Amino acid sequence: MSPELLDILVCPRSKKKLELADTATLDKLNAKIRSGKCSEISGTAVTETVTEALLQRETGILYLVREDIPVLIYENAVELG
């Protein structure tokens, strides 16, 4: 993701800055997905592993990037916890 785009993206709910999720965060998320224990905030199960996501560090909310497009819809986000 381009640094210019990352500079302007914010969480649609908290309006706080987003950052690219690091490898450790993605590994943790993908482990949850593989175990069948990962769902979007809406309750929909997440079944496909993730190669890129945007993290709002203070809230622990992850916005997945699908086909190079950040999905900045709160209901489709994932809680890291």
Predicted confidence at residue 1, as pLDDT, reads 81
Distance between CA atoms of residues 24 and 7, nearest Å: 22
pLDDT grade for 56, boundaries at 50, 70 and 90: very high
Separation CA 21–CA 64 (nearest Å): 10
Q: For 3-46, write each residue's pLDDT tens digit.
A: 898 999 999 999 999 999 999 999 999 999 999 999 999 999 99
pTM: 0.92
